[in-house]
């Protein structure tokens, strides 16, 4: 019956990637999970345990989505957009570099999902105010969200998934990943500047009025800043990030709603809640693979390879996982990698290379990571869209050099 489990997982994952009939990604992931349980391929208790393992991710995403929607409704993004445009001095390239720098900081201290959810609407507002083609600037949000996502442990929920209860201390983490992160961010910037050189050669309209920041927008900005501090402190103390993020998001929303004397329904309607069942469905699909014994076999094979050559195994594992993330999304791929690391007791260089693969590999395709799916949802809300092939054409130029340089920096 194992082949049936594989068939269900493959079809469901293909549905998430291709979105036949434009059905939401969550529909395919949840349907696949239901078929595994209803068909007797996965015990329902195992499915519930798999859903429960995603609790920290659900809470994290809920907090970030609340922060983003409150900030958007209260005009923070419009204020930031005007500020950025005025600081650009009319240069499209300078505006691009400014957005890239901010995206790197947001990813490092608030996570790649925050860059996708919180920053993307702000960047669209920037392009609108500057009367510039928005997509070159929106692509910054998508690519930097993954390229900078291993600067800190909090920079990507996939980091928490892969290392689970074995997260290295903050300064140990920096010793492993600071140089690879610098190389990844620099290589990604170089590739994007080359790809978008025609758009960046022109000018933008910088002669716009700077609006006043509404009080609710100021509260949202303070909430986002405090969330960043809270997450860094939680990471240093080895505390899971989901609950602090959710509490910060709910608290910020409540303060703004109380101040405006508003009901919460309009804010809640503006959030893409389907992301949560998507994540839950992916956790169940991976649990189905675990029950087939495939993960244990993979762990045994990797352990045997590492005994022959740690360096070669690390290079191969990082590159292969980076590519696999674009076939099955980096969240389930990270779950598979985490289970493999635990079962195989793999050397640290191999584990670190797997992390770079799971974080950076998704820059190849539009469905490679949850952050990129969130980014796609955000730009669709603004009336923009990007096809799989359009993203792949850029990703094929952006991801490979960044991945190879990051692995070289890690395994030097």
Q: Rounded distance, CA 203 to CA 190, Å?
A: 20
Domain ranges in the chain? 2-410
Q: What is the pLDDT of residue 1?
A: 59
101: phi then psi, degrees, rounded to nearest 5: -65, -45
For 317-362, the pLDDT digits (tens) are 889 889 888 877 787 788 788 777 766 577 888 889 999 999 999 9
Is pTM beyond 0.85 here? no
Three-class DSSP category at 309: coil
* Residue whose pair of structure tokens reads 């590492």 in the numeric block: 306
Q: Is the dihedral of CA 331, 334, 340, 343 positive or negative?
A: negative
For 299-317, the pLDDT digits (tens) are 667 767 767 788 888 898 8
pLDDT tens-digit profile, the chain (412 residues): 577 887 888 888 778 777 788 788 789 899 999 999 998 888 888 899 888 888 888 898 888 888 878 887 888 877 877 777 788 888 889 889 988 988 898 888 777 887 887 788 888 888 887 888 889 999 999 999 999 999 988 788 788 777 765 677 777 888 899 999 999 999 999 999 999 998 888 888 877 777 788 888 899 889 888 888 887 787 777 777 788 889 999 999 999 999 888 888 888 887 878 888 988 898 898 888 777 776 666 666 776 776 778 888 889 888 988 988 887 778 778 878 877 776 657 788 888 999 999 999 999 998 788 788 889 888 888 888 888 889 999 999 999 999 999 999 998 8
Contact 303, 340 (CB under 8 A): no
DSSP string, 72-110: HHTTHHHHHHHHHHHHTTTBHHHHHHHHHHHHHHHHHHH
């Amino acid at each position: 019956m194992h082949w049936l489990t594989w068939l269900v997982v493959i079809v469901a994952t293909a549905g998430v990637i291709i979105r036949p009939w434009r059905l939401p990604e969550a529909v395919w992931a949840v349907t696949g999970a239901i078929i595994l349980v209803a068909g007797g391929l996965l015990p329902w208790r195992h499915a519930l345990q798999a859903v429960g393992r995603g609790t920290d991710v659900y809470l994290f995403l809920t907090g970030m989505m609340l922060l983003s929607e409150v900030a958007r409704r209260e005009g923070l993004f419009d204020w930031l957009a005007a500020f950025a445009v005025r600081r650009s001095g009319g240069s499209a390239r300078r505006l691009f570099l400014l957005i890239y720098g901010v995206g790197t900081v947001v990813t490092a201290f608030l996570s790649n999902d925050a860059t996708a959810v919180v920053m993307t609407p702000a960047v669209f507002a920037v392009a609108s105010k500057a009367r510039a083609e928005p997509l070159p600037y929106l692509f910054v949000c998508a690519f930097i969200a993954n390229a900078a996502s291993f600067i800190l442990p909090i920079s990507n929920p996939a980091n928490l998934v892969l290392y689970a209860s074995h997260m290295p201390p903050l300064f140990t983490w920096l010793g492993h990943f600071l140089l690879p992160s610098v190389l990844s961010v620099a290589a990604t910037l170089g590739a994007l500047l080359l790809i978008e050189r025609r758009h960046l050669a022109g000018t933008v309209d910088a002669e716009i009025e700077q609006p006043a920041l509404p009080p609710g927008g100021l509260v949202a900005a303070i909430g986002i800043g405090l969330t960043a501090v809270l997450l860094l402190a939680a990471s240093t103390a080895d505390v899971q990030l989901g609950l602090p993020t959710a509490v910060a998001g709910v608290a910020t929303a409540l303060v703004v709603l109380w101040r405006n004397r508003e009901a919460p329904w309009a804010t809640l309607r503006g959030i893409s809640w389907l992301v949560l069942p998507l994540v839950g469905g992916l956790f169940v699909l991976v649990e189905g693979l675990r029950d087939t014994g495939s993960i244990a076999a993979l762990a045994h094979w990797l352990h045997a390879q590492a005994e022959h050559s740690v360096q070669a195994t690390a290079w191969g594992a990082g590159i292969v996982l980076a590519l696999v993330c674009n076939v099955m999304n980096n969240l389930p791929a990270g779950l598979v990698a985490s289970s493999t690391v635990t079962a195989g007791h793999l050397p640290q260089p191999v584990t670190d290379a797997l992390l770079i693969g799971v974080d950076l590999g998704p820059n190849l395709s539009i469905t490679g990571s949850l952050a990129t799916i969130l980014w796609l949802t955000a730009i669709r809300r603004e009336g923009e869209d990007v096809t799989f092939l359009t993203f792949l054409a850029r990703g094929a130029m952006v991801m490979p050099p960044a991945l190879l340089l990051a692995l070289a920096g890690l395994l030097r």
